[in-house]
Structure 1
Amino acid sequence: MNAAAQRILTINGGSSSIKFAVFDPTDLSRRELHGSIERIGLPGTLFVAKGPLPDDNFFRSIEVADHSAAAAALTDFITDRLGQGNLAAIGHRVVHGGPTYSAPQRIDAEMIAKLGALSAFDPEHLPEELRLIEAFHKRFPDVPQLACFDTAFHHDLPRVAQLLPIPRRYEGLGVRRYGFHGLSYTFLMEKLSELAGPKAARRRIVLAHLGNGASLAAVHDGKSVDTSMSFTPTAGVPMGTRSGDLDPGLAGYLAHLENMSSEQFSEMANSHSGLLGISETSSDMRVLLDNEAHDGRAAEAVALFCYEVKKRIGAFAAALGGLDTLVFAGGIGENAPSVRARVCDGLGFLGIDLDAARNNRTAEVISSETGRVKVRVIHTDEERVIAQAVTHLLASAGEPKGS
């Protein structure tokens, strides 16, 4: 197959999932094939795919114990669908770039070693992402792989937003606010410029990426000014299973009360907290909204999530000196009108006023005509950002071959 017919594969690995998409590099406006493997390492692992052919569309259970086994199932599918020699490149979302990486780059042995050393920065994601990179290298050894870093959007945060109030010597070890969801925020800013014009995209903006992982970013003049996540993606607002911000004294208290180790504390904060911890039933906002009328724990989980997001919008409006645009994105932000309404309720003093009918039908603009702040819902697309970066890197490098 000639170069024009080759495809770009994007891989978005999470702590218990792998999302993938296949793009024609000559037309990145649509995905030719996409899907995911969900609940990796848990009962009921699902492989979902959607594409133009009947065999590309399925929703089936598979048995995989870890990301390596899931990657094997995915590479089998990709090889069967595209053939061994029809990939131009593979682009990976890498959650943490640490202090070293701030732009998309070709993956090589040096990067693998440095990312391995950074694994302690984000033990929930980086080790699994490295296993995915290795698995795809073994199956497609001659296909270049490229890394797109979720921290890159926030790399040049103002100094005051980067600093963490702990002894200064730790900054020399790379301890600072990094921020995440950068690929999503990159897409949202590009889309906002397209929808509202470049001038609007350079004003005072709060982006709310609300999903199983949730964060907010304050953006001015197109640059990140502050963001809710910090050194790791655990910080910020409550999420599906992550706690968000916690009093650091809690670690010592639980160590005394339950002899909880630091590893156990991390497991609790990342995998058993947030919506799941408060509700004691589910990390899925859809389930909690369905149950809140008859389950007080579910209602409290929803209320806490909306309250914390609302507080962060207020704080970021203060950091920006006002607010011109609020954007909702992510699985919750795009699909839960009642959550958007609750988050915005009481923010009239900032100029936020939702139009109930527009919000309920998830219109592109959900603010009222009289609201000073334009409130939008934008479907985010991290995979397209990865594909764009890969296409650019391939073009600038003369379409390198080999790995």
Structure 2
Amino acid sequence: MRILTLNYGSTNLKWAVFEDDVRSEAGRCEATDDAQLQAAVQEILRSRLGRSGPNAVDAPSTRTSAPAAYSPKAFPADELPATPQPPDAVVHRVVHGGRLERPAVIDAAVLQEITRATAFSPIHNRRALIGIHAAERFGVPQIAVFDTAFHATLPDVARTYALPRELRDRGIRRFGFHGLAFSSTLQQTADVLGTAAADINAILVHLGGGCSVRAVEGGRSIDTSMGLTPLEGL
């Protein structure tokens, strides 16, 4: 199976193609505004599917201008082969999954929950929604994976804020982020140690544009320095 993955940063887009578990292609481009992001997603899909999508796509919550013209500088020729094999699915990284705690095939209900959670992660979730909408008319199944899903195992003592119950009942709690990166780090650590991820007890640290710390016990997230939004961290 061939999977195309799209990872939305605040100013760029990273993409990769996986043949089963092996990465066969990868690249990144600058995409600092909505129009650039739409154009980037559409160009990546056109290059792999061999057919055109819409010339312009409505971004969630607002209408964007038509995508900017494709720039060869954004996608070096060696990153976009001329005759690629089409992917079987497109997988989008979504930072905040809200109540969604596992990967999900994108449908109306999933889109609604991602949109609802955008209030707590306005930059990254919004960009993911733009990418999803830009890709939806290409006829390829789309899947969302969530950074917050890694922390679905947080115990109540770690996920609960010292707030009135009425606020907690409305879903105000600690979620945790950087989950996909931590999941990868956990598996790589297990591989290096020659053991199963489920046997790992560790403190994991993510250092980048955003920074955070995780406590993992038995391969499961049990505490995090992040919370309801990605603004918490270190």
TM-score w.r.t. length of structure 1: 0.47
Q: Is the 8 A contact 1:68 1:135 kept in 2?
A: no
Q: What residue identity is the alignment partner of 1:83?
A: G
Unmatched 5+ residue regions in structure 1?
42-65, 238-403
SS of equivalent to 1:97: coil
Identify the residue that residue 145 of structure 1 maps to in structure 2: 142
SS of equivalent to 2:100: coil
Note the alpha carbon deviations across 1:269-320, whole angstroms, 9 max, x for none: xxxxxxxxxxxxxxxxxxxxxxxxxxxxxxxxxxxxxxxxxxxxxxxxxxxx
Cα gap change, 1:112/1:229 in structure 2, threshold over 3 Å: closer, same or farther? same
The share of aligned pairs that are identical, in percent, is 42
- For 1:83 and 1:90, how far apart are their aligned partners in 2? 15
Identify the residue that residue 168 of structure 2 maps to in structure 1: 171
Residues 255-334 of structure 1 mapped to structure 2, 5 A cutoff = none
Identify the residue that residue 91 of structure 2 maps to in structure 1: 91
Cα gap change, 1:77/1:91 in structure 2, threshold over 3 Å: closer, same or farther? closer
1:79 to 46, 69, 72: 46
SS of equivalent to 1:198: coil
Identify the residue that residue 110 of structure 1 maps to in structure 2: 109
Aligned residues: 201
SS of equivalent to 1:121: coil
Identify the residue that residue 78 of structure 2 maps to in structure 1: none
- For 1:174 and 1:149, how far apart are their aligned partners in 2? 17
Q: What residue identity is the alignment partner of 1:119?
A: T
Residues 181-260 of structure 1 mapped to structure 2, 5 A cutoff = 181-198=178-195, 202-237=199-234
Q: Is the 8 A contact 2:197 2:218 kept in 1?
A: no
Residues 355-394 of structure 1 mapped to structure 2, 5 A cutoff = none
Matched, 1:135 2:102: no
Q: Is the 8 A contact 1:189 1:222 kept in 2?
A: yes
Identify the residue that residue 27 of structure 2 maps to in structure 1: 35
Note the alpha carbon deviations across 1:12-57, whole angstroms, 9 max, x for none: 11222211111223xx23x22211123x33xxxxxxxxxxxxxxxx
SS of equivalent to 1:169: helix
TM-score w.r.t. length of structure 2: 0.79
| Structure 1 position 211, deviation (Å) | 0.9
Higher-RCO chain (CA-CA 8 Å, sequence separation at least 6):
2
SS of equivalent to 1:9: strand
- Which sits farther off after the overlay, 66-75 or 117-126? 66-75
- For 1:200 and 1:78, how far apart are their aligned partners in 2? 34
Higher Rg: 1
- For 1:180 and 1:10, how far apart are their aligned partners in 2? 19
SS of equivalent to 1:151: helix
SS of equivalent to 1:21: strand
Structural RMSD (CA): 1.9
2:10 to 6, 9, 15: 15
Unmatched 5+ residue regions in structure 2?
52-84
Cα gap change, 1:199/1:105 in structure 2, threshold over 3 Å: closer, same or farther? closer
- For 2:112 and 2:15, how far apart are their aligned partners in 1? 24
Cα gap change, 1:199/1:36 in structure 2, threshold over 3 Å: closer, same or farther? closer
| Structure 1 position 199, deviation (Å) | 6.4
| Structure 1 position 174, deviation (Å) | 1.2
